[in-house]
């Protein structure tokens, strides 16, 4: 990504004409910031194109964090581009900023660019942490769809301007590649998988307070190559659910023609899953995620789950290769009644002679069972383990820090944690 930004800067440098005039300096800054903003939008779209090789290699949660982090800088570049262009035009024409803005908006390409900027600003506002907590997930996702329209408007503006006179072919090719990836992996592949696998809900089972497991049957499921620890994006074709793809991990290995997810009702959509009826059609896209056995580098493995983060850990607990004592699972929950899939976990532990420890108690208690000393007491040779971690963001971040303090190398801590 940084290499691409360097190429864009070189393209800009190859056509820039140095000048000390104020209007020329503003125009030069506008050109560079505009090119970098356009490239940044392409990178953001690519990160969310759901290209399997990228998601499996990097991890979907890391891609999402890169997307959010990069989005802030792209917005700054977009606003900087508009401001520099406006000031440069005002200085060149010897007029005030308001009059300059009015004149510039009279050009169709610039009016389109302004509209795209407004759309990107709306996406940025709804993504701000203080706002995002108060915005329904479906609203947030709907606003994010404006990114595609904003990118199209910006592309038209860029081709109409002087910035790409020497490299319009390169810009067109880059946009075409990203557009094809988006259409293929976010449009064609889901439809093709839906027709091929014909998934339907078979059963909805209550697992605990606010937690249900959804069992689905389909065809040719081995072709999915879904590994324990991975997740798919599920679209249940039922009223009030069909329009949203929900990411849930497999809570058991794929068996024959059956898939299972386990869901806690944390939001409106996840709560509605409890009312799914047998026979409901399901569209599943994926698998995604890199929290798989391929990350393993050591003979011994420690799995740490918090809350509903037990779902991918349960699948890994059953399937990761290892002899007696090689696999240990720590399950953090607020109270005993919050333990999910307990009977299955205990049966797996007994059959595999694996370690299983429930770490119960409120998160604000004086004693932290995931503190470095507590972890070392439960797992004496902790530093010799690979650690797989899944749980709420706060718990996952604190546990990762504790593992590092306990001597576990950062490269052996494998996690995927999501938040909205």
pLDDT digits (tens, 9 = 90+) for 2-34: 666 666 667 666 676 766 677 778 877 887 887
Contact between 116 and 14 under an 8 Å Cβ cutoff? The reply is: no
Contact between 249 and 60 under an 8 Å Cβ cutoff? The reply is: no
Please report, for residues 149, 333, 390, the alpha-carbon distance to residue 170 in angstroms, rounded to integers and kept in the order given. Answer: 21, 53, 41
| Confidence at residue 391, expressed as pLDDT on a 0 to 100 scale | 85
pLDDT digits (tens, 9 = 90+) for 336-382: 888 888 899 999 999 999 899 998 887 766 678 888 888 888 888 88
Please report, for residues 116, 121, 409, the alpha-carbon distance to residue 98 in angstroms, rounded to integers and kept in the order given. Answer: 20, 20, 57
Q: Cα–Cα distance between 340 and 332 in angstroms, integer?
A: 11
Cβ-based burial of 375 (10 A; exposed 0-12, middle 13-18, buried ≥19)? buried
**Mean pLDDT score, 278-301:** 87
Higher per-residue pLDDT: 145 or 284: 284
| Confidence at residue 163, expressed as pLDDT on a 0 to 100 scale | 52
| Confidence at residue 420, expressed as pLDDT on a 0 to 100 scale | 44
Query: CA 154, 160, 166, 171 torsion: positive or negative?
Result: positive
Higher per-residue pLDDT: 197 or 66: 197
DSSP calls for 182-250: HHIIIIIHHHHHHHHH-EEEEEEEEEETTEEEEEEE-SSGGGG-PPTT-EEEEEE-STTTTT--EEEEB
Please report, for residues 181, 185, 290, 315, 322, the alpha-carbon distance to residue 50 in angstroms, rounded to integers and kept in the order given. Answer: 8, 6, 13, 23, 32
End-to-end CA distance of the chain: 25
Q: Is 56 a residue whose pLDDT tops 80?
A: no
Q: Is 222 a residue whose pLDDT tops 80?
A: yes
| Helix H or strand E encompassing 104 | helix 97-104
Three-state SS at 340 = coil
Ramachandran assignment for 229, one of left (phi > 0), alpha (psi -120 to 50 degrees), beta (any other):
left
Contact between 404 and 233 under an 8 Å Cβ cutoff? The reply is: no
**Count of residues for the chain?**
420
Please report, for residues 201, 261, 330, 332, 394, the alpha-carbon distance to residue 359 in angstroms, rounded to integers and kept in the order given. Answer: 33, 23, 7, 5, 16
Largest CA distance in the chain: 82
| Confidence at residue 24, expressed as pLDDT on a 0 to 100 scale | 75
What are residue 385's DSSP bridge partners? Answer: 300
- Report the 3 state secondary structure along 255-296: ECCEEEEEEECCCHHHHHHHHCCCCCEEEEEEEECCCCHHHC
Three-state SS at 386 = strand
Q: Cα–Cα distance between 68 and 72 in angstroms, integer?
A: 7
330: closest CA among 306, 365, 348? 306
Tell me the percentage of the chain whose pLDDT exceeds 90.
10
Q: Cα–Cα distance between 267 and 254 in angstroms, integer?
A: 26
Q: Give 188-192 contacts, CB < 8 A, sequence gap 24+.
A: 189/285, 190/235, 190/283, 190/285
pLDDT digits (tens, 9 = 90+) for 201-215: 998 888 877 888 899
- Which of the given ranges, 36-40, 60-64, 166-170, 249-253, has the highest pLDDT on average? 249-253
Q: Are strands 385-390 and 355-360 parallel, antiparallel or unpaired?
A: unpaired
Three-state SS at 390 = strand
Cβ contacts of residue 296 below 8 Å, gap of 6+? 320, 386
392: closest CA among 124, 61, 127? 61
> Residue 159: pLDDT band by 50, 70, 90 thresholds?
low
Phi, psi of 334 (to 5 degrees): -70, -35
Higher per-residue pLDDT: 405 or 151: 405
| Confidence at residue 4, expressed as pLDDT on a 0 to 100 scale | 67
> Residue 36: pLDDT band by 50, 70, 90 thresholds?
confident
Instruction: Using the structure block, give the residue that is written with the tokens 């002899």.
Output: 323
**What is the chain's mean pLDDT, rounded?**
81
């Amino acid at each position: 990504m940084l290499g691409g930004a360097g190429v864009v800067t070189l393209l800009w440098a190859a056509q820039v004409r140095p000048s000390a005039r104020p209007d020329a300096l503003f125009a030069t800054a506008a050109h560079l910031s505009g090119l970098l903003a356009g490239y940044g939008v392409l990178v953001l779209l690519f990160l969310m194109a759901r290209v399997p090789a990228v998601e499996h290699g990097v991890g979907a949660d890391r891609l999402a964090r890169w997307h959010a982090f990069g989005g802030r800088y792209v917005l700054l570049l977009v606003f900087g581009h508009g401001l520099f262009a406006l000031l440069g035009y005002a200085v060149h024409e010897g007029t005030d900023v308001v009059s300059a803005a009015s004149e510039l908006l009279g050009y169709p390409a610039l009016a389109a660019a302004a509209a795209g900027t407004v759309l990107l600003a709306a996406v940025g506002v709804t993504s701000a942490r203080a706002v995002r907590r108060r915005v329904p997930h479906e609203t947030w996702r709907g606003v994010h769809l404006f990114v595609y329209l904003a990118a199209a408007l910006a592309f038209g503006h860029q081709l109409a301007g002087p910035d790409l006179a020497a490299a319009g072919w390169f810009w067109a090719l880059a946009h075409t590649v990203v557009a094809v990836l988006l259409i293929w992996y976010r449009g064609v592949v889901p439809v093709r998988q839906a027709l091929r696998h014909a998934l339907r809900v078979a059963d909805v089972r209550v697992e605990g307070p606010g937690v249900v497991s959804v069992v689905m049957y389909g065809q040719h499921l081995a072709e999915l190559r879904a590994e324990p620890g991975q997740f798919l994006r599920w679209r249940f074709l039922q009223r009030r659910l069909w329009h949203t793809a929900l990411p849930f991990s497999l809570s058991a290995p794929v068996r024959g023609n059956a898939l299972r997810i386990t869901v806690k009702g944390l939001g409106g959509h996840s709560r509605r899953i409890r009312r799914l009826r047998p026979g409901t059609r399901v569209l599943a896209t994926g698998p995604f995620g890199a929290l798989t056995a391929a990350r393993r580098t050591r003979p011994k493995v420690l799995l740490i789950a918090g809350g509903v983060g037990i779902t991918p850990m349960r699948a890994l607990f059953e399937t990761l290769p290892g002899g007696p004592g090689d696999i240990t699972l720590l399950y953090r929950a607020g109270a005993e009644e919050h333990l999910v899939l307990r009977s299955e976990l205990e049966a797996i532990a007994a059959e595999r002679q694996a370690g299983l420890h429930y770490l119960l108690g409120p998160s604000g208690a004086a004693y932290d069972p995931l503190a470095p000393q507590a972890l070392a007491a439960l797992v004496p040779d902790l530093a010799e383990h690979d650690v797989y971690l899944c749980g709420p963001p706060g718990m996952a971040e604190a546990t990762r820090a504790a593992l590092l303090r306990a001597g576990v190398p950062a490269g052996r801590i494998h996690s995927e944690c999501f938040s909205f």
